[in-house]
Each structure stands twice: as structure tokens, then as C-alpha cells.
Amino acid sequence: MSRGLFFKSLITLFARHPTAPNLILVLMIACGIVASTSINRQFFPDFGLDYITISIAWPGASANDVDATIVQAVEPSVRFLNGVKNVSSVSYEGLSSTTVEFFADHDMQLALSEVESAVSQLQTLPSGSERPLIKKVQRYETVSKLVIWGEVPEGEIKKNAKLIRDQFLSLGVENVTLRGLRKDLVLVEISPDAIHKYKLSIDEIADRLRMLSIDMPAGEILGGQKQIRSVGQKTQAREFKELEIKSLPKGQKLLLKNLAKVSESVEEDAVQYFRNGFPAIEIDIQRSTKTDALKISDLVKKELIDLQRMMPPNVNLEEYDVKAESIKERINLLIFNGVSGLLLVLVVLFLFMRFRVALWIAVGIPASLLATIAMMQISGQTINMVSLFGMIMAIGIVVDDAIVVGEHADYHSSSGLEPMDAAILGASNMAVPVISSTLTTIAAFIPLFIISGIMGQIISAIPFVVVTVLIASLLECFLVLPFHLGNSFRKPEDTSFLTKVTNKTNKKFQEFKSDKFKFWVRTSVENRYSTLAISISLFILSLSLIIGGRVGYQFFPSPEPNMIYANLKMLPGSSRAETKAVVLRLEKSLLDAVVTMGHQPDALKMSLGIVGANVSNNKQSSSSTDVLGGVIVELISSDKRSFKSDELIKEWRNQTGWPEGIDNLTFVGQRSGPPGGDLDIRISGSSEIETRRLKNIAIEVADLTKRYPGISNVDDDLPFGKPEILVTVSERGLSMGYSTSLVARQVRSHIDGVIATRFARSDEEVNVKLKLESKNIENDFLQNIYLKSPDGTISTLKTVVDLEQESGFLRIKRENGIKEVSITADIDESVTRLDYIRDALVKDGLNEIADSNNLKLRYDGRAREQKETSEDMRKGAILGLILIYIILAWVFSSYTRPLVVISVIPFGLIGTVLGHLVLGFDLTILSFFAILGLSGILINDSIVLVRRIDERAEHESLEDAVVNGSCDRLRAVALTSATTIGGLTPLLFEKSLQAQFLIPMAITMVFGIAFATLIILFIIPSLILSVEDLKKVISRS
């Protein structure tokens, strides 16, 4: 059976069945409605990397020590495990953090087991380091954040924060993270005089506490009927005070309270949050990828009202960074544009087609979209900005095949054929070209499927939605539409106003087609080489506008942010109090900036200060340090304020100035989409390269980068840390029995303290920490530290060691075992572009800096994502073109005719570039994604046109066939183009700042199709005749 007979038999079976078409239609609609009530809704699609983190604490160690002793032991043990893609490590003061990234779809549970096994076999970790903490990172997304704060003791804030956390967990919230919560601590502060008087070291006191404060099983008696336990665990500071540390010569007991001050405290070096200068704790309410963001948000809103009533006096509970508000705003925005586009599509259909034909074609739009939603639900997709845009894009495309079938069936019905026969014949005649055009559109979207990395995860919803809509539309077009068309043709044509308008429109259209359009087509084919030359010239002009920079390019523009982050780094050696003072100054200058700009303070929804860490995009540093701080700011929605975040940042920077003691200060708006900075230069050398040398080169590159206009927030990730004092045991010390490890252990105990024991209290682990009294830790105290030798002799540190001082580092990074530094900067896209900056850096000697120091240079951040995405698109485009060629060769049974059709693809760029130029938008990666979809539409229209020309060429001259074929298919091509344009046009005029990053996609489709439609109707005929001329020349020769 030929393919035509097979399709005709299938179409006839359903068209003449009394119930099957309606059952299919009802099934598509019902499944979609049910799915729409339960499918998850969120802003962007879920995206992230599969990785495992390894954290090892080593109290008192410098970043250099952590890098040399821990990181260089851990990295080799995990780097070559199965499935590992990348290993990166950061060494902080007292902490190592190693991230092991795995390839997508790797079994992460197996990976966790292998990492745990590899780390457990390490034998070279330092004796003072704590047990490695290994975690598989779970993907959670913030729903909203609460801030509890007030003019009350920190313990009161902490107690209520834990109650709120427990309440939300009991209600089914997957994860609640508390930030700024400092753990309880039993603090034992010892004076140096007591150490000297009683000849005790801090370590000996800690060992004694460890022995006395413990619960241990002591066995069983009576054949296991009873258990014996030794009970001695202390859980309160007052209980520790009474412990006997030593028996004195005269039988007296030396209690802990006699030689130390014992008190309940909190961890002093943990990250702290402040709201209006008062202690605060941030409560981050998060959902897993399996739950609906809006449902969780509604639950939080409802519960928040009750919680606020329950708060004690002077304790405030506020909500900020509510993702649901942004999600609702942006989803409603796209739905409004989608409905507007749908109405325009319907207007186009009803203007040019008979009412009943247009009605049943229009029914296919909601049916196909609802069937797509059902498939999205089944496959784990979500309703988000990207998938909704895919649906808007599909609104116009989805009716293309139905228009072709309906228009052809209407033609046969008007010719006098029996109604159902006309519907069946119209569908069966168009089956092969419509199915092939659908396959070519799917092939055009294949490059989007194979894009890897974060960008691929974000954009994958578009090809999935479009392909699913096309398949659903195809089923509706051939299994449902002919049945309804056949029945509608049986009914007499009504004489309503709409019918009169349609008839009048069609009459005018027929006159235009027979008169002006036919003349234009004949003129273009008679001057076909001029037609082709003009088209090629326009294409070259479009390319020159891009290459010359008249039409700019930026990779992925982020929507206008509502969140701003200020991050500061104090000079090395600054105290926590000094850092807090600058943070509070930043908050005051922020308010001054808003007022100076002429706005009310309520334009700020939240201002939250942080001491001990930097913040960015809802994340904070892994380690706390006194010299870091930041401010998180939330503004009211961008659509409700009259200023942009960049304007506020500029004024905020002016109001702040450069506070005393600041080493670096940056302001940046929140970024959406692919992770990474605008400019991220990575410089690396051998694993043994000296850190100080790497820092000097980073400073040189940073200074070079600061020269260019449009560059701000230049910084490197190798900051100087606290000054380091190098201790070396002297000859005298060695003779007294001191060793490097003994001295280091006792010095660390004096400076950073020592954890004597840990115990559980309520829901957290409490440390008992011994340290010198704070008043004794001064600039020159180090030389007067008392040490105890192996034979019990007490000596001052200066008598047994030599001391030197140098600058240390706050953190040190490695990537796959290689030491690396990153120089980052923000780029003002209104001033310059990433490509321009990179070219300028190369011209001004960036490569020479790296080469002269025998270092490697690469770009990371968004530059790497851009490179990987471009490479994937190139591969995908080649694969897509090959598949399109194969499909067309099958349809036309020719090797040369597909080349004619494919040749129209580049001309779609003409309208795309012109549209971006006229509307003042840059090309983006989303523009190029849309070009792929545009290619599919162009080929669809070309297939329909070329097939009609071939049919006419069987009984007409080729020149008459191309002219008459173009006229025959003018309405079908114009309608398919007009419906796609109509579906996307409302988005072109959307003023919301939240939708601006999607507009380049709409520009590409609308302007590309508008110009390409003219190209198809004039260039395809000229190309066909030109190819025929070439064949004649070859045959003559």
C-alpha cells in the first residue's frame, strides 16, 4: 500500500466513524484540564548540577595549611572516581570545602557511597582536624523567606525561630533553613596566671573535662535483665563549674570555677544577621522539585498570620523574597499575552475563512495545548516562564497544518464535491506535505534538545512544548478535523454579518491575488537573477549589521531584578565590630539613596545586614570570617516602581563612598538564568605554584580590567586574610623537649581554644570550649603564652620559639588539583559587551601576562556557558539540517529539490536583524533559539508551495506552474504566517520589565516570518527556475 492510500484509509476510518473523533477531542481536553489543576508552577524550569560536598574543619589552621594538608589529600582520592566531571576545592581559615561534580544522570546514591569510601581511607589528614562531613546536595528552591528580629536577647529570637521552623516542617514543607542562628556554647575562659600557678595546660584541662562529663554504659547483670550505666554528663555551665580539675598538695580540690570563668554563650565566629541593627535570624522556606511553589506559598501566607499574632512583645516577623508573587506576575503576564495572541489568531482565521471552517480549525488550538499540558505533567515538566513562552510560540504554529487541510478541503467543497468526500480528500491530499512539514519543524528544534549544561536545562521546555503541540495538532488535524469539516460543509452557509465580512475579505483577497500579486510574481521570476541578487544582498547586509556591532549581542539578558546585594571585605585584621559598623552604615546610606532619588522609603521591602560572610543570589559563603559582610535588599516589584535597580545601585554607591577600613566593596543586582558572572577570567598554574605569586598576577589582571568603561565590581577570589605569625621551635626549645606539633597544639589551644567535649541539648549539639580570657588576647600576648614541656616545665613561648610575620590568605581555590584564581567583573551592557572587553584585554596584553608567567588562562562563568551552548547548537544545527534534507528528499523523491527548500533558511535572518534594529533590542541566545523554530516554519510553507508547483508542472509549463502555484498557495502561506505573527505580536509591545528578556524571541519569529513569507513566495519560484536554467546549461555542455 502506498503512503497516500494508507493515510487516506486512516483518515476515512475516523471521518466516517460516528463517535471516535469526538471521543479523541474530549480525551485531549479532559486530560489537559485535569493536568492543569495539579502541574507544578514556578519561575524558571528546575536546573542545577549533581554534586557532592566534602567539608573538613581544622580549627586554627590557616588557608595555606588547609590547602597543603587537607585539600591536596582529598582531591586525588575523589577526582578519578567513576562519573566525576569536575572537582573544585576552596581552603578557608579552619575549613576545607571540596565539591565533586558528576555527569548528568549519574547514580548519585552510588556516587555518595564511593566518595564516602574514598575519604574514609585517607590516612594523612591532620590529627587536629574534625570528622569529614560528606553530603549529597539536594535541589531545593526558595519559596519565601521570613526574618524574625527584635530588641530582645538573641536567645529569644533563636527560640522562636526554631518553633517557626518546626511548625512549617510539621505542615509538610520539605526544607526550612535557619541562617544567622548561632549555636549554644559553654564557654570556659582561663587566665594565663592560673595556667602558670597550677602548672596546667589548656589541653590538660580539656582532657579532664572530657573524662568527667560523660555518660557511658557499664555492662549488664542478671543475664542481661538489667543494664548498668555510668552517668556523669553535664549540660549546664553551672554544672561544669563544680567539676574537680586537680587535687592540690594539702588535699584541697581545684574546681573549674577556681581557675576559669564558666558561662553560657554562643559561637562568636558564626555568621550573624541584623535587621535595623538588632539581632535577626533568616528562615528560608524551600520546596523540592516535586512540589508546587504557589501551593507552598499559600500555606506560608496562611500560617504567617497566626505566627505573627503569637510573637512575644518586641519580636517582629516579616516575610520577603516571596517567589510566588514573581511567579504569579510573570505567569499572568504571559497568559495575558497568550490569550491576546489567540484572539488575534482567531480574527485572522475568521476574516479569511468561512465561519464553520475557521471555528473547527480554532478548536484545535485549545485541544492541542491542553493535550500538551497533560504530557508535560506526565513527563515531569512544569508551568514556568520558558514553557509558557513555548506555548505562546506554538499558538500560531499549531494551526498551520489545520489551515492547510481546512483551506484545501474548503476548495474541494466549493468545487461541488460531496461534503464528507471533500473533507477526506482535502486531508488525504495534504497528509504527506503536512506530516513532512511537521517532521521538518521537529528536526529544526532538535538543536535545542541536545544543548547541555545549565542552559540546556533551562531551555529544554521550549522544544518539548513545541514538539508535543505539533504532534497533538497532527492527531487532531487528521483524526478529528475532517469529521467536523465534513459535517459543517453539509449545512447551508449562513448570512450573518461575520459571513458577509469574510466573503468581502475573500473577494478582495482574490482580486489582489489575481491582479497585483500574480503580476509581482511573474515579474520576479522573469527577472529571477535580480530577485536572487537583491535577496542575497539583504542577507549580506544583515550579517554586516551584526558583525559591525550595529545590532548588538548579549548571551542571556536577565529580567529586571527586585533583589540587590552589597558585599564588603574589610582590610586584613579588622574586627567583627568594625565590620558590623560598616554594614550598618551601608543600610543607612541605602535609605538616604532612596530619599535622594525622590522616592518613599516603602520602595524598600527588606534590608538585612550580614556580618561574617558575603551574599549573592540567595547564597552565602561556606565559612565565616570577621572581615566579610553584606546587605540583602529587596525592592518592590519592578512594575510598581519608577526606577531601575541599576539607578539605585549607582546612587547607593555615591551615598556610601569608601568607608575607612574597606578593602573591597561591590553592589550587584540579582541574576536569573545561567549561573556565573559577566566577566570571569581564570588563571591557573601548576599545583605547587606559590599562592603569593598567583595573587600578584591577579592584581595585575584586575588593574588591567578596571581601565575599560562599563566595568564595575572588579575583584579576585584570592583575598588576603589575617596576618600569619610563623612559629619555629628554636634550638633551646628542642633541647627542652618541645616539638613542632607540641608547640602548635598548645599555641592553637591558647589562641582559638579547644573543644573539650560535646553534648546534645534540646535539638542541637553544644560545644564546651576552653580558651584564654578575651582581655588577655592582645597584640603582644603571643610572646607571653605559657607552654608546658613533656617533663612538666612551664615556659613562655618566646623562650622556646622564633617568630616571623607575613600576610596570609582568606581562601585558596583549586580546580581539578590545580591552584587557580578568578578575576570577576560586572559589565554594563548599555556601555559595552563581553566580546569587546575580551578583545580589548587580549590587545592590551592579557595573554602576554599569562604566557610570561607560564600560566594558563581561560574564561568561565557565562562565557563558558555561552561557548558550550554555541558548540552544542552548531552540532545540533548540522544534525537538524541533515534530518530536514532526508525528510525533504523523501517527500519530493529528489536530491536537488530539497536544496531549494533549505536555501530559504538563511533569509529568515533578514527580518530578524531588521526587527532587532528597529525595536532597539540586542540579539540574544534566545533570538538564535527562535531562528531554529523560524526555520521549521519557513520550510513548512516552502514544502506546501513547492508541492503545489510540482503538481501544476505536470500539465503546465514550469514558468506558469511557479507563478500559478504561488498564487494557489498565497492564502495558505499568508494565513499560516499571519497566525504565527498574531500569536506573538502582543508580546512585542509588552512594557513589563519582567518580560523584556523574552521579547527578542518574539521579534525573531514575528519579523522573521513577515519577511520570510515574502521571500518564500518570490524566491522559491525564482530558485526553481534558476536551478532549471542551470540544468539546461549543463545538459547543453
pLDDT, tens digit (0-9, with 9 covering 90-100), for 686-695: 766 788 888 8
Better-scored residue on pLDDT, 699 or 128: 699
Question: 730: helix, coil or strand?
Answer: coil
- Reported confidence tier of residue 876, pLDDT bands at 50, 70, 90: confident
Question: 283: helix, coil or strand?
Answer: strand
Furthest-apart CA atoms within the chain: distance in Å: 127
- d(C-alpha 584, C-alpha 280), whole Å: 14
CATH of 3-38+327-488+498-555+866-1036, one of 1.20.1640.10, 3.50.50.60, 3.40.50.2300, 1.10.10.60: 1.20.1640.10
* Range 49-138 classified under CATH 3.30.70.1430: yes
How many residues can be counted in the chain? 1037
Angstrom distances, CA of residue 723 to CA of 3, 573, 595, 811: 81, 7, 41, 13
- Reported confidence tier of residue 980, pLDDT bands at 50, 70, 90: confident
Q: How far is CA 719 from the centre of its chain?
A: 27
- Reported confidence tier of residue 1, pLDDT bands at 50, 70, 90: very low
560-671, what's its fold? Answer: Alpha-Beta Plaits (3.30.70)
- d(C-alpha 157, C-alpha 388), whole Å: 42
Any idea which architecture 184-215+232-266+722-809 has in CATH? 2-Layer Sandwich (3.30)
Residue 672 above 80 pLDDT?
A: no
Give the chain's mean pLDDT. Answer: 82
Average confidence (pLDDT) over 297-302: 88
Average confidence (pLDDT) over 518-526: 88
Ranges in the chain annotated CATH 1.20.1640.10: 3-38+327-488+498-555+866-1036
Better-scored residue on pLDDT, 608 or 562: 608
What is the per-residue DSSP string for 865-933?
Answer: HHHHHHHHHHHHHHHHHHHHHHHHHHHHT-SSHHHHHHTTGGGHHHHHHHHHHHHT--EEHHHHHHHHH
- Reported confidence tier of residue 318, pLDDT bands at 50, 70, 90: very high
Read off the pLDDT of residues 358-375 as tens digits, 9 standing for 90 and up: 788 888 888 888 999 999
- d(C-alpha 783, C-alpha 797), whole Å: 5
Residue 222 above 60 pLDDT?
A: no
Ranges in the chain annotated CATH 3.30.2090.10: 184-215+232-266+722-809
Ranges in the chain annotated CATH 3.30.70.1430: 49-138, 560-671
- d(C-alpha 872, C-alpha 78), whole Å: 28
Residues 6+ away with beta carbon under 8 Å from 998:
334, 385, 389, 926, 987
Burial, 540: exposed, middle or buried (Cβ in 10 Å; 0-12, 13-18, 19+)?
A: exposed
How many C-beta atoms lie closer than 10 Å to residue 238's C-beta? 12
Tell me if 3 sits within 8 A of 432, measured CB to CB. yes
pLDDT of residue 583: 93
What is the per-residue DSSP string for 628-648?
Answer: EEEEEEEESPGGG-SS-HHHH
- d(C-alpha 112, C-alpha 102), whole Å: 11
% of the chain surpassing 90 pLDDT:
12
Average confidence (pLDDT) over 537-558: 84
Q: Which three cell numbers stand for residue 931?
A: 531562528
- Considering only CA atoms, which of 593, 451, 343 is closest in space to residue 926? 451
pLDDT of residue 633: 93
Average confidence (pLDDT) over 405-434: 82
pLDDT of residue 494: 59
Residue 609 above 90 pLDDT?
A: yes
Its pTM surpasses 0.85: no
